[in-house]
């Protein structure tokens, strides 16, 4: 199956009121995570009567755990907190979030407030019955110049290596049908999980729509993915993922074709 990608502008069209799981991976995001969770709840109240907000505390060493526990006590009906005793990495946090979501639609973004949870409404407007994934793309990137350059090089590299069709792979502002995860399995524990997610959804034939969203300066904490000390590790993870998703898959397809040809020839 071949995924289709459509880039469109937000409109005022109405949408049904589905059930929504919102989750945030959080690592040392004590300065921003409370406002992100509350903004998500306020947004969801406008969109549906059936929602949940989940925060995955991925072994934070600041005051994030205390903030999250207080949120859970204050909003017990809609907020769930999952604490990882040890840091599992960004991929580990996302896998935990997807596994914990219980609603029909799953939205996630980072807990560092570089995206606005209110713009979930823009994504939901485009989640029509024909669409499986609504992917945000940054109107402009509000990061230091070196991170903008690294991010651009990364996107062009993975777009070429993996044959991706969306315009912004590393925009972690996505609304996905939970049923999609019945057909894909995520394995990455690092930041390359976003690439793995998009690639596997695309290869499974799910339909994407892209919507422009705002990207803001980081007000608290620091990046755990696009920074110089982690570049080598990111490169290794990227090559490993490429080997498994592209080379081994093509080799398996070749072997299956050879078996089929031999069976047809009677050998």
Give 75-100 pLDDT, tens digit per residue.
999 999 999 999 999 999 999 999 99
- When pLDDT is averaged across residues 259-263 and rounded to a whole number, the result is 53
User: Which residues in 8-76 belong to E strands, given as ranges?
Assistant: 20-26, 51-58
> Rounded to the nearest 5°, which phi and psi values hold at 157?
-65, -50
228 burial type by CB count under 10 A (0-12 exposed, 13-18 middle, 19+ buried): exposed
Sketch the domain layout of the chain as residue ranges.
Answer: 5-145+164-222
44 burial type by CB count under 10 A (0-12 exposed, 13-18 middle, 19+ buried): buried
Task: Give the CATH architecture of domain 5-145+164-222.
Answer: Alpha-Beta Complex (3.90)
Give 203-257 pLDDT, tens digit per residue.
999 999 999 999 998 776 565 555 556 667 777 878 888 788 877 665 455 455 5
On the question of pLDDT at 149 being above 90, the answer is no
Share of the chain above pLDDT 90, in %: 63
- Three-class SS state of 86: coil
Q: Look at residues 195, 188, 192 and name the one whose alpha carbon lies nearest to residue 235.
A: 192
């Amino acid at each position: 199956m071949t995924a289709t990608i459509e880039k469109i502008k937000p409109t005022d069209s109405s949408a049904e009121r589905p059930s929504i799981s919102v989750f945030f991976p959080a690592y040392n995001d004590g300065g921003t995570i409370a406002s992100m969770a509350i903004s998500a709840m306020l947004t969801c109240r406008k969109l549906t009567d059936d929602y949940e907000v989940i925060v995955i505390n991925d072994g934070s060493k600041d005051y994030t755990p205390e903030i999250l526990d207080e949120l859970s006590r204050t909003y017990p009906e809609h907020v769930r907190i999952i604490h990882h005793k040890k840091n599992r990495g960004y991929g580990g946090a996302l896998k935990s979030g997807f596994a914990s979501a219980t609603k029909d639609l799953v939205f996630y973004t980072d807990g560092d407030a570089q995206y606005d949870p209110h713009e979930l409404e823009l994504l939901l407007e485009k989640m029509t019955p024909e669409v499986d994934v609504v992917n945000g793309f940054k109107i402009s990137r509000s990061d230091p110049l070196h991170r903008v350059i690294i991010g651009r090089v990364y996107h062009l590299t993975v777009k070429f290596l993996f044959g991706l069709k969306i315009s912004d792979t590393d925009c972690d502002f996505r609304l996905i049908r939970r049923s999609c995860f019945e057909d894909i399995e995520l394995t990455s524990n690092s930041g390359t999980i976003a690439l793995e997610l998009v690639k596997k959804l695309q290869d499974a034939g799910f339909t994407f729509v892209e919507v422009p969203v705002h990207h803001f300066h980081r007000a608290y904490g620091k990046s755990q993915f696009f920074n110089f000390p982690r570049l080598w590790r990111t490169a290794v993870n990227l090559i490993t993922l490429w080997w498994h998703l592209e080379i081994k898959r093509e080799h398996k397809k070749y072997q299956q074709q050879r078996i089929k040809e031999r069976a047809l020839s009677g050998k």
